[in-house]
Amino acid sequence: MVVLMRAVTRVLAVLLLVALSDTHASLQDTPAAGVQVVEISAERFSFTPSEIRVRAGTRLELRLRSDDTTHGFHIIGTDIDIELPKRGRGTTTVEFQPKAGRYTFECSQLCGAGHEFMRGVIIATE
């Protein structure tokens, strides 16, 4: 039992270190001047990354894909509300150029019992 607990503790410690070493957003090299690409994956019940920090006015190219069922991507307070096809059926791209502020995004396609937890934020600073 003691051996087991030690093993479990070690595994959790390693996973915690992995988690703490992570960055906010998956930012890629810009394919065109002034465009910042962010790849976002959606799975029940989270977006990864769920926090994206950019400079206000940056043209964002959000490349979204689902790792399981159909999800939605809605940036609250904007007209952006798209459907992400199921796993293996491609990536959806949406462009967004935020002014300074915080933009909450959420899954807008009911995807399961934890659907309401599926939210994230884009933080655009001056």
Partner 1 sequence: MTPLLGYRAVSRLLAPVATLLLLATSPALAQTPERPAAARRESRTNLSGYMDFHYNKVEFTDGRLDFHRFVLLVTHSFSDRIRFVGELELEHALVEGLEDAGELELEQAYVDFLLHRSFNVRAGMMLMPIGIINERHEPPMYYGVERPFVDTVIIPTTWFETGVGVHGEVGRGWRYRAFVAAPLNAAEFSAGEGVRGGSQKGSESNIGRAAVTGRLEYVGRRGLTLGASAWSGHSGFEFRPRFDVPVSVVAADARYSRNRLELRGQFAHVAIEHADQLNDALARRVGVDPNIARAMRGFYGEAGYRVISGARFGDVGAFARYENFDTQFRMPAGAVRLPQFDRDAFVVGANFWPDPDVAVKVDYSIVRNRSAFIQAPNSLNIGLGWWF
Residues that bind partner 1 (CB under 8 A): 4, 8, 11-12, 15-16, 18-19, 22, 24, 26, 41, 44-46, 48-51, 67-70, 74, 76-79, 86-88, 99, 101-104, 109-117, 119-121
Residue type at 74 in one-letter notation: H
Residue type at 39 in one-letter notation: E
Answer left, alpha or beta for residue 16, where phi above 0 means left and psi between -120 and 50 means alpha. alpha
Cβ 66 to partner 1 shortest distance, Å: 8
Nearest to 74 by CA among 105, 44, 48, 95: 105
Q: Which residue number, 12 or 35, has a Cβ lying nearer to partner 1?
A: 12
- Helix or strand holding residue 7 (H, E): helix 2-20
Q: Which residue number, 55 or 87, has a Cβ lying nearer to partner 1?
A: 87
Cβ 13 to partner 1 shortest distance, Å: 11
Number of residues that make up the chain: 126
Cβ 30 to partner 1 shortest distance, Å: 21
